[in-house]
Amino acid sequence: MPTPNKYCTQNDLAKILCRKEKVDRKTAEILTDGYFRIIKDMLLGQNSVKLTEFGNFSVTDWKAQEVFDINTGKRIQTQIKSIKFKPSAALKRKVVED
């Protein structure tokens, strides 16, 4: 498990899952990879993802902006999107209390 103030990688999550849930390493890697792939696919499909007691992921569209395409020398309109994460109240309380 990573030390405080360090980031946790997907590989670290698989190791922790392997240890805590007593599954073999390959199964843990398949589960973590599949879990994140599903979240990514849902966000790519413009769906929100709500994880109880963790938080919500959502895709937001920004106003279309005009940008300069350096390859063609023309100005084009582009739609900007971003992913937002809003932690649940339960997660916020846990992080603040601990």
Ranges of each domain in the chain: 1-45, 47-98
How far apart CA 13 and CA 1 sit, in angstroms, is 8
- Show the tokens assigned to 31: 């589960």
pLDDT at 57 (0 to 100): 95
* Assigned CATH topology for domain 47-98: HU Protein; Chain A (4.10.520)
Helices 25-44 and 10-21, interaxial angle, to 10°?
130
Q: Give the pLDDT band (50/70/90) at residue 6.
A: confident
User: Is the whole model's pTM more than 0.85, yes or no?
Assistant: no
pLDDT at 79 (0 to 100): 83
pLDDT at 84 (0 to 100): 94
Q: E strands of the chain, at which residues? A: 49-51, 55-61, 65-69, 74-78, 81-87
- Report the 10 Å Cβ neighbour count for 95: 9
**pLDDT tens-digit readout, 12-70:** 999 999 999 999 999 999 999 999 999 999 999 989 999 999 999 999 988 888 888 89
